[in-house]
Amino acid sequence: MAMGFQEQKKPDYRPMFFSMADEWKDIESDESIFEFSVKSSDTSLTTEIEHQVRLLSNSLGEPRLFFSEIETSVCADGECKLANIKVYWNLLGNYVGYGTYDKYPLTKFEHDPFEKADYQKLHKLLLDDNSVLKRRKMSDLIDKIPVSLSNINSKDLDGISGATKKEIKESVVKGGLYSCYTIWHLVHGDAKKKIRKNLETIGADDLKEYFLYSLYKDYQIYGLKQLSQADFRVHSKQIVSIFKSTNALTRTYILKKLPTDLYSEKEITNQLYTMFPGVDLNSKTLLINKLEFAAPDAIEILAGFLDNMTKNQLKHYLKYLEENTLRITNTMKRNLRKVSKDKNYAHSYLIDAFLKTNK
């Protein structure tokens, strides 16, 4: 049942940690969207606890965050204590932050309160959607975590998963394994799946551009994946802008998906190939592999960045030159000669050999 914001007291949305900008500040509408249930970790209870997930929208009525105030039991050695946190997900269901209540600090083993650094570590753990905790049962973890990192060396790793133990030890709050485990699974469990499913109902179509033009990497690739071939042209400026600032995953996606007619436009080609030195190696490979689809300038632009290429990339580029000798300009020749003598570039010998056979 949806509950309008006006009908309840405005909650305190202030998060303790928040990985987006300040979306939580401008919240005008708060409506319950769905509930998700989590089995209580208190083995004395058989009930499932229901948690409400709310959609927070801004003053323009635009959906911005999903939010839940969660009270859950964290149990250790048969003794349980409640943990209270406010969780924030973005519109794709990815965790973006959490907050606590002054009255209810999170606790560790023997109910010591979390220290400041512990809260920070929890946030870092929750940001990892592929945490080592993901596919583990709590029962797998008990008594299997080494007491301290210094115990982890080649001689006393006992088998099952030395690497995993180390990873768990490094990612959870010391003494707070139960809290971390419980909260991670709450944040990355059913709620996340339901948010994703709900995306259509909150108007994903209207949000397409919001995603594409946002500063967040997960939004950007989601936005890119919604584009038709024609959309690429409409949004080409933003796509080039994303290309410049994003990670290798999204960059390689853009290079694979850019329609050929757009890719071959002089302006797009120039912008993409000028960024060559600053992009990751996998994107560099694609830029070289796609030379035949780029505007003619690309070949000359790359001649200025020879010393940024891996061995195979350079081989591929030189092979392209060999097949297109007529396109080798004097400027390019000068660059080739210069880099062929560059002792700091490991593969200069390949250029030297190229120049000898292509005089």
For residue 170, the minimal CB distance to another protein (Å) is 13
Q: Residue 96 has which token pair?
A: 């973006």
Which residues neighbour 109 within 8 Å (Cβ) at sequence distance 6 or greater?
Answer: 76, 175, 176, 177, 178
Q: Residue 246 has which token pair?
A: 């994003």
Whole-angstrom Cα Rg for the chain: 27
Give all strands of the β-sheet with 63-76 in edge-to-edge order. 17-18, 95-100, 79-89, 63-76, 48-57, 29-39
Smaller CB separation from another protein, 54 or 347: 347
For residue 343, the minimal CB distance to another protein (Å) is 5
Smaller CB separation from another protein, 31 or 128: 128
Please name the residue ranges forming H helices in 33-131: 116-127
Question: By the 8 A CB rule, do 222 and 163 touch?
Answer: no
Q: Where are the beta strands (DSSP E) in the chain?
A: 17-18, 29-39, 48-57, 63-76, 79-89, 95-100
The three-class DSSP label of residue 59 is: coil
Q: Which of 10, 14, 111, 225 binds another protein (CB under 8 A)?
A: 225
Pick the closest to residue 352 from 344, 343, 341 (CA basis): 341
Q: Which of 105, 162, 175, 189 binds another protein (CB under 8 A)?
A: 162
Question: Taking CB under 8 A as the rule, does residue 355 contact another protein?
Answer: no
Question: Taking CB under 8 A as the rule, does residue 249 contact another protein?
Answer: yes
Q: CA–CA separation, 89 vs 83, rounded Å?
A: 18
Question: Taking CB under 8 A as the rule, does residue 147 contact another protein?
Answer: no
Residue at token pair 């208190």 = 42
Q: Which of 37, 245, 260, 282 binds another protein (CB under 8 A)?
A: 282
For residue 69, the minimal CB distance to another protein (Å) is 26
Q: Which of 9, 103, 116, 135 binds another protein (CB under 8 A)?
A: 135
Smaller CB separation from another protein, 2 or 163: 163
| Binding residues among 330-349 for another protein as defined by CB under 8 A | 343-344, 346-347, 349
Smaller CB separation from another protein, 33 or 224: 224
Here's the x/- map for another protein, 296-315, by CB under 8 A: it reads as --------------xxxx--
Q: Which amino acid is at 152?
A: I
Question: By the 8 A CB rule, do 173 and 121 touch?
Answer: yes
Q: CA–CA separation, 142 vs 43, rounded Å?
A: 15
For residue 344, the minimal CB distance to another protein (Å) is 5
Question: By the 8 A CB rule, do 280 and 248 touch?
Answer: yes
Question: Taking CB under 8 A as the rule, does residue 101 contact another protein?
Answer: no
Per the DSSP assignment, residues forming a β-bridge with 76 are: 79
Q: Which of 233, 257, 264, 304 binds another protein (CB under 8 A)?
A: 257
Here's the x/- map for another protein, 38-77, by CB under 8 A: it reads as ----------------------------------------
What is the contact surface with another protein in residues (CB under 8 A)? 130, 134-135, 153-155, 157, 159-160, 162-163, 196, 221, 225, 247-249, 252-253, 256-257, 280-282, 285-286, 310-313, 316, 343-344, 346-347, 349
